[in-house]
């Protein structure tokens, strides 16, 4: 592991230690896949991380020992065998308190740990790693920017493929293929492509429905690059648009742009949400914007912070947040426009560069 990576990991681990100390956690059993990856830069289908105040351990089996040794000396690598596993390790360490991630640790795993540590106090460690992960470092932002760039290129390419007679599924597949060709290792989630009346369903799965003249087509998609996700949405029209379609698009775009101008570090997630929601509500469509404005994006497609009407989280510099207002008119059509941004002290940096004025193909 090079010095730069080690320094990044050291910083992350010491932040976790500080938070664990505050919560009275002696050993922190990290269970969340993305949390484990974030704290060790190691990934395999089977390993455990245990973080203590002085020492930390990475437990894995023979298949991954060599790769895991990269994490030394930050982690002491412990070999798991048929006879020796996580429970034996914890039994040896006998912590007075163990931090657990309740959202991920299964009831079965918890039961078996509780049995071997009858004196141990179990402390909820939910959110410790997630909170640290919310603020991105330069390397992470570069990966997210790259993933967003791939999606941008796929969008400008797909515009040439959208025409009457092409199915939603076909569009979704072409977007996926293009992103993979451009270097994505995976999709960050199943691509959404909804045309015509189906665009009124915010998260419609693509069907065999064929695109027709007069349709809005909403595409919500993103990819993974070096472990980091991107997320964007555009709604385009095919052939022609009605006055109502044009008006709804105009309102969503105004709300989206306004939020892009307003969002900055120090705001709450609620204030960010309101920046867009006010414009949609004042236009009389508040009840047709039934989801929150946005969410953080990183190792996971949905992570902290939440930009929602109920979020008191403070947006901090170098957090990412999506800005994705929408209006959905049941049985008619829907519009959503989504950018992915990095929060700064005086405003955002938009990682999505695709056109967002109404495109009529
Ligand atoms: Mn999103």
Q: Write out pLDDT tens, residues 110-128.
A: 999 999 999 999 999 999 9
Structural domain containing residue 275:
135-350
Token representation of residue 11 = 């910083």
DSSP 129-167: HHHHHHBPPHHHHHHHHHHHHHHHHHHHHHTTT--TT-B
Whether 322 is in a domain gets the answer yes
Question: Given this model, what pLDDT does residue 315 score?
Answer: 98
My answer on whether 165 and 197 are in the same domain is yes
Query: What's the gap in Å between 325 CA and the centre of ligand 1?
Result: 10
Residue 241 forms part of a structural domain: yes
Domain C-terminal end among 81, 108, 133: 133
Residues 156-202: tens digit of each pLDDT: 999 999 999 999 999 999 999 999 999 999 999 999 999 999 999 99
How far is residue 39's CA from residue 24's CA, in Å, rounded to a whole number?
A: 20
Residues 253-266 have a mean pLDDT of: 98
Provide the number of structural domains found in the chain.
2
Same domain, 13 and 62: yes
106 with 73, same domain? yes
Q: Does one domain contain both 310 and 226?
A: yes
User: Which pLDDT does position 1 carry in this prediction?
Assistant: 84
Do residues 229 and 351 touch, judged by C-beta distance below 8 A? Answer: no
Q: Indicate whether 358 belongs to any domain.
A: no
Burial call 247-277: b when 16+ CB within 10 Å, e when fewer? ebbebbbebbbbbbebbbbebebbbbbbbbb
- Measured distance CA(9)–CA(24) in Å, rounded: 22
Indicate whether 322 and 200 sit together in one domain. Answer: yes
Asked if residue 356 belongs to a domain, the reply is no
Q: Are residues 145 and 241 in the same domain?
A: yes
Q: Which of 133, 154, 178 is the last residue of a domain?
A: 133
Distance between CA atoms of residues 106 and 32, nearest Å: 11
Q: How far is the CA of 338 from the centre of ligand 1 (A)?
A: 7
Q: How far is the CA of 321 from the centre of ligand 1 (A)?
A: 9
Q: How far is the CA of 231 from the centre of ligand 1 (A)?
A: 5
Which residue is it, tokens 């599924």?
169
Q: Is residue 41 part of a domain?
A: yes
To the nearest whole percent, how much of the chain has pLDDT over 70?
100
Helices (H), the chain: 3-22, 33-40, 65-68, 86-93, 107-116, 128-134, 138-158, 168-181, 243-262, 269-282
DSSP string of 182-218? TT-SEESSPPEEEEGGGGGSTTPPP-SPBP-TT-EEE
Residue 203's pLDDT band, with cuts at 50, 70 and 90, is confident
Residue that wins the pLDDT comparison between 30 and 2: 30
- The CATH number for 123's domain is 3.40.350.10
The reply to whether the predicted model has a pTM over 0.75 is yes
Sorting pLDDT into bands at 50, 70 and 90, what band is 31?
very high
């Amino acid at each position: 592991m090079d010095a730069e990576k080690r320094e990044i990991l050291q910083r992350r681990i010491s932040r976790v230690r500080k938070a664990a100390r505050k919560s009275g956690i002696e050993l922190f059993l990290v269970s969340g896949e993305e949390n484990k990856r974030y704290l060790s830069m190691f990934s395999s289908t089977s390993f455990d991380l245990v973080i203590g105040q002085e020492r930390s351990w990475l437990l894995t089996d023979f298949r991954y020992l060599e790769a895991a040794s990269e994490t030394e000396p930050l982690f002491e690598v412990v070999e798991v065998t048929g006879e020796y596993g996580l429970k034996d390790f914890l039994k040896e360490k006998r912590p007075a308190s163990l931090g657990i991630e309740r959202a991920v640790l299964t009831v079965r795993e918890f039961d078996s740990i509780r049995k071997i540590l009858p004196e141990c106090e179990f402390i909820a460690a939910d959110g410790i790693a997630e909170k640290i992960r919310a603020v991105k470092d330069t390397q992470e932002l570069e990966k997210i920017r790259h993933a967003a760039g791939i999606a941008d290129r796929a969008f400008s390419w797909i515009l040439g493929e959208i025409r009457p007679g092409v199915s939603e599924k076909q569009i979704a597949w072409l977007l996926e293929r293009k992103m993979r060709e451009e270097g994505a290792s995976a999709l960050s989630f199943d691509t959404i492509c909804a045309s015509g009346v189906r665009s009124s369903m915010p998260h419609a799965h693509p069907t065999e429905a064929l695109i027709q003249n007069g349709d809005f087509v909403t595409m919500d998609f993103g990819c993974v690059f070096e472990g980091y996700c991107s997320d964007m949405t555009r709604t385009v029209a095919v052939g022609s648009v009605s006055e109502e379609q044009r008006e709804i698009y105009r309102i969503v775009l105004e709300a989206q742009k306004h939020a892009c101008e307003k969002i900055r570090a120090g705001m709450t997630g609620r204030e960010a949400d309101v920046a867009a929601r006010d414009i949609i509500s004042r236009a009389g469509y508040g009840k047709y914007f039934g989801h929150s404005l946005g969410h953080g994006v990183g190792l996971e497609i949905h992570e902290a912070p939440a930009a929602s009407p109920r979020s008191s989280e403070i947006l901090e510099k170098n957090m990412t947040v999506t800005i994705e207002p929408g209006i959905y008119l049941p049985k008619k059509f829907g519009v959503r426009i989504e950018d992915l941004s990095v929060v700064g002290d005086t405003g955002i940096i938009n990682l999505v560069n695709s056109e967002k004025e109404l495109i009529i193909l």
